[in-house]
Amino acid sequence: MRKTLSAIAAALTLAACTVPTEAEPPVVEGADTSSAEAPAAEPSPKVVLTAKGKGLKSTKTFTVRGDWDLEYTYDCRDTYGDMGNFQVWNDDTGMGDIYVNELGAKGDDVTHQHTGGKLALQINSQCRWTIKVIDV
């Protein structure tokens, strides 16, 4: 029996002194040990075009990824009397993609678009106007 206890003690001592061949990071209790990467952050909204004017105007070409917003204002009170028309459409499609078509003394709003790509806008109004395109 004495030999058996000595053999067991020797085996335990040897096991306690054995160094693993592959280094493993220390495990911290309660820590997340998953190896999944954090998801990429969504790009922040970016203004890709601003324009202002009166009358008919084509904008420069701009590119949006997908969803984008068109913020606009118009004011006809000092240029055309009471009422005026304000229209914005995709310059490349004739009047196929009309984004804004309003009649009033003044107005402002945001339209949310969902088809990105390379675009240019056509603005038609008797009023003073501003537009801003934001790639969201």
* Domain ranges across the chain: 46-135
What contacts 24+ positions apart, CB below 8 Å, involve 98-103?
Answer: 99/70, 100/70, 100/72, 102/74
Instruction: Identify the sign of the CA torsion 54, 59, 64, 67.
Output: positive
Beta-strand pair 121-125/98-104: unpaired
What is the pLDDT, as a whole number, of residue 9? 52
If you average pLDDT over residues 18-37, what whole number do you get? 59
The DSSP element (H or E) to which 106 belongs, if any, is strand 106-113
The identity of residue 59, as a single letter, is T
| The CATH number of domain 46-135 is 2.60.120.260 | yes
pLDDT category at 89 given cuts 50, 70, 90 is: very high
Q: Specify the pLDDT at position 95.
A: 61
Q: Cα-flanking dihedrals φ and ψ of residue 122, to 5°?
A: -115, 125
Number of Cβ atoms within 10 Å of the Cβ of 3: 7
Q: State the average pLDDT over residues 26-42.
A: 65
pTM above 0.75, yes or no: no
Among 106, 117, 36, 40, CA closest to 76: 106
